[in-house]
């Protein structure tokens, strides 16, 4: 075996590199797969090494790149975390990543690492319920204010009206959880640059564009390519992909930003354990084939739902047409529609619960992006903590069921939805149906 050169690696695709990048078998007895480095601490060859590694970890002197700073202690660094971080960064085409014990740990640590008391955030609603609660209630206690605008085509104009000298970030989920609305990341970046240009020599300006890309997953959208400064993931979803592990990732191209996030991770202790990182690395090997099969199934399921008389509207990127204002954003930011479907029924909670209670193949469970299909009711479950006004702003209505499509045979999924919809009582005088991702 001969090693790939750096220029050969640069030409390879992430699905190829997901099987080998960042791991040298000859450092581990020739093992083809990375062993799990179940160790809390690492031996230094000499005391001077220990002193040097700690100095670098504190940011003293001129530290080499993170991967060359020397292993110290598994809250600071560990080979399994580093292999996973190297490989997940490849999928994004980004320079570096920091792994976490959960998506919320990634989000919370990143926001605390990048904001100070007095700062303001602009958040495109809806966002995941935990993110909403963190930005709105927790950060508020530390003097950081979150202002919300609805996600979608008007979000940049609405955000611009809220920008002040204290604005530190624009936080976006695109597509948004749970309504699949799209926000133009490039326009937000342009806004950020115009209102707070980067200082000479700095990679990022004062206003950071932070994108939680969990809903699309790294196969079909890479937000940094269109302007995101920081990309966040709940790795529990598509990256882990089997509903058997909880994890998170923060990625940034600016080494100063990433170092700040890594330092705060070490302070808060939100890193994944080596086995979690190993599982996430294993899952990256099948990420593309899983995501593509899930997407194929979702296209078929969305087409079925769009023509069903008990369905009022289907929010699915694959159903956007060129006359929809968000279509241009879709073409710019996505290479495929992914596998999340927002299904709005005629009726309300009663009808939505009837559908959920009669499903046999879909699991009635929160989470998304896994091999098995999942269905849940955001208003009563993942987004139940939102205030009624925020639910309204984010289109989290009682008639909405969020579907995450898995890798099963799509005929079986459609059969399941059909038999469950048969059990939903028809409503009198239903509102006219619409199948686009549009206003609810």
Ligand X SMILES: Cc1ncc(COP(=O)(O)O)c(C=O)c1O
CA distance linking residue 212 with residue 258, whole number of Å = 16
Polymer length in residues for the chain: 440
Which CB sits closer to ligand X, 241 or 248?
A: 248
For ligand X (CB under 6 A), the number of binding residues is 16
Q: Which is nearer to ligand X, 130 or 318 (CB)?
A: 130
- DSSP, residue by residue, 344-375: EESS-HHHHHHHHHH-SSSEE-S--SSSS-EE
Q: How far apart are CA 213 and CA 222, in angstroms?
A: 8
x/- site string to ligand X, residues 216 to 235, per CB under 6 A? Answer: ------------------x-
Contact segment (CB under 6 A) with ligand X among 46-54, 97-105, 193-201, 278-286 equals 97-105
Using rule CB under 6 A, residue 214 touches ligand X: yes
φ, ψ for residue 145, nearest 5 deg: -100, 135
State the Cα angle at 78 between 73 and 83, rounded to 5°: 170
Cis peptide before 312 (omega within 30 of 0): no
Does residue number 376 form part of the binding site for ligand X (CB under 6 A)?
A: no
Q: Based on CB atoms, which residue is closest to ligand X, 343 or 424? A: 343
Q: Count the neighbouring beta carbons within 10 Å of the beta carbon of residue 211.
A: 30
| Interactions with ligand X, residue window 404-433 (CB under 6 A) | none
State the minimum distance, in angstroms, from the CB of residue 88 to ligand X. 14
388 contact partners, CB below 8 Å, separation of at least 6: none
Site string for ligand X, 235-274 (x = CB under 6 A): -x---------x-x--------------------------
For the CB of residue 369, give the shortest distance to ligand X in the complex, in Å.
9
* Residue 103 in the binding site for ligand X (CB under 6 A): yes
Sole binder of ligand X in the list 78, 99, 102, 169 (CB under 6 A): 102
Q: Which stretch binds ligand X (CB under 6 A): 71-79, 207-215, 219-227, 274-282?
A: 207-215
To 10 degrees, the CA torsion angle through 306, 402, 348, 152? -80
Contacts of 214 (CB under 8 A, 6+ apart): 103, 128, 173, 177, 232, 233, 234, 237, 238, 368, 369
Q: Which of the ranges 64-72, 123-131, 190-198, 266-274 carries the binding residues for ligand X, by CB under 6 A?
A: 123-131
The reply to whether 212 sits near ligand X by the rule CB under 6 A is yes
Single out the segment in contact with ligand X by CB under 6 A; choices: 42-50, 211-219, 292-300, 414-422: 211-219
Q: What tokens appear for 207 in the block?
A: 């206003």
CB of 157 to ligand X, least distance (A): 24
The correct pick among 79, 130, 270, 318 for binding ligand X (CB under 6 A) is 130
Contact 372, 408 (CB under 8 A): yes
Cα 418 to Cα 309, 355, 360, 437: the distances in Å are 11, 10, 11, 22
Q: Residue 333: left if φ>0, alpha if ψ -120 to 50, beta else—which one?
A: alpha
Query: What percent of the chain is helix, strand and coil (3-state, nearest 5)?
Result: 40, 15, 45
Nearer to ligand X, 246 or 424 (CB): 246
| CA-derived radius of gyration, the chain | 22
Q: Judged by CB, which is closer to ligand X: 107, or 311?
A: 107
Question: For every residue of 44-83, which 3-state class applies, written as one string?
Answer: CCCHHHHHHHHHHHCCCCCCCCHHHCCCCECCCCCHHHHH
**Residue 177 interacts with ligand X (CB under 6 A): yes or no:** yes
Stretch of 136-144, 209-217, 254-262, 341-349 contacting ligand X, by CB under 6 A:
209-217
By CB under 6 A, is residue 104 in contact with ligand X?
yes
Is there binding between residue 339 and ligand X (CB under 6 A)?
Answer: no
Task: Pick the closer one to ligand X by CB: 99 or 102.
Answer: 102
Q: Does 108 bind ligand X (CB under 6 A)?
A: no
- Which residue's CB is nearer to ligand X, number 228 or number 246? 246
**Is residue 173 at the binding interface for ligand X, with CB under 6 A as the rule?**
yes
Site for ligand X in 352-371 (CB under 6 A): 367
* Chain residues that interact with ligand X, rule: CB under 6 A: 102-104, 128, 130-131, 173, 177, 212, 214-215, 234, 236, 246, 248, 367
């Amino acid at each position: 075996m001969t090693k790939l050169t750096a220029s050969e690696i640069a030409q390879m695709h992430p699905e190829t590199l997901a099987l080998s990048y960042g791991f040298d078998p000859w450092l581990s007895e020739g093992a083809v797969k990375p062993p799990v480095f179940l160790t809390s601490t690492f031996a230094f060859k000499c005391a001077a090494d220990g002193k040097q590694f700690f100095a670098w970890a504190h940011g003293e002197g001129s530290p080499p790149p993170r991967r060359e700073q020397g292993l110290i202690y598994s809250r600071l660094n560990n080979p399994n975390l580093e292999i996973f971080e190297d490989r997940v960064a490849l999928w994004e085409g980004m320079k570096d990543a920091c792994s976490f014990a959960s998506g919320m740990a990634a989000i919370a640590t990143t926001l605390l690492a990048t904001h100070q008391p007095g700062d303001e955030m602009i958040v495109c609603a809806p966002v995941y319920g935990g993110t909403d609660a963190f930005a709105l209630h927790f950060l508020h206690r530390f003097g950081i204010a979150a202002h919300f605008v609805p996600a979608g085509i008007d979000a940049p104009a609405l955000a611009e009206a809220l920008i002040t000298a204290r604005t530190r970030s624009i936080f976006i989920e695109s597509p948004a959880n749970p309504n699949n609305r799209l926000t133009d990341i490039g326009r937000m970046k342009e806004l950020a640059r115009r209102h707070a240009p980067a200082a000479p020599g700095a990679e990022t300006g004062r206003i950071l564009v932070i994108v939680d890309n969990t809903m699309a997953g790294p196969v079909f959208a890479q937000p940094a390519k269109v302007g995101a400064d920081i990309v966040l993931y709940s790795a529990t979803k598509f990256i882990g992909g089997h509903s058997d592990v909880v994890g998170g990732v923060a990625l940034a191209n600016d080494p100063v930003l990433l170092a700040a996030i890594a330092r705060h991770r070490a302070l808060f202790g939100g890193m994944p354990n080596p086995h979690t990182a190993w599982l996430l690395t294993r899952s990256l090997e099948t990420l593309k084939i899983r995501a593509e099969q899930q997407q194929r199934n979702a296209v078929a399921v969305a087409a079925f739902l769009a023509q069903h008389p008990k369905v009022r509207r289907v929010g699915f990127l694959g159903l956007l047409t060129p006359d929809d204002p968000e279509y241009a954003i879709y073409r710019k930011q996505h290479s495929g529609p992914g596998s999340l479907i927002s299904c709005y029924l005629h009726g309300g909670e009663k009808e939505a619960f009837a559908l959920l209670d009669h499903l046999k193949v879909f699991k009635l469970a929160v989470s998304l992006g896994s091999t098995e299909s999942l269905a849940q009711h955001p208003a009563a479950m993942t987004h139940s903590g939102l205030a009624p006004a925020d639910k309204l702003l984010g289109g989290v209505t009682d008639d909405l069921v969020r579907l995450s499509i898995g890798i099963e045979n799509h005929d079986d999924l459609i059969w399941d939805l059909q038999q469950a919809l048969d059990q939903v009582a028809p409503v009198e005088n239903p509102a006219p149906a619409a199948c686009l991702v549009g206003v609810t």
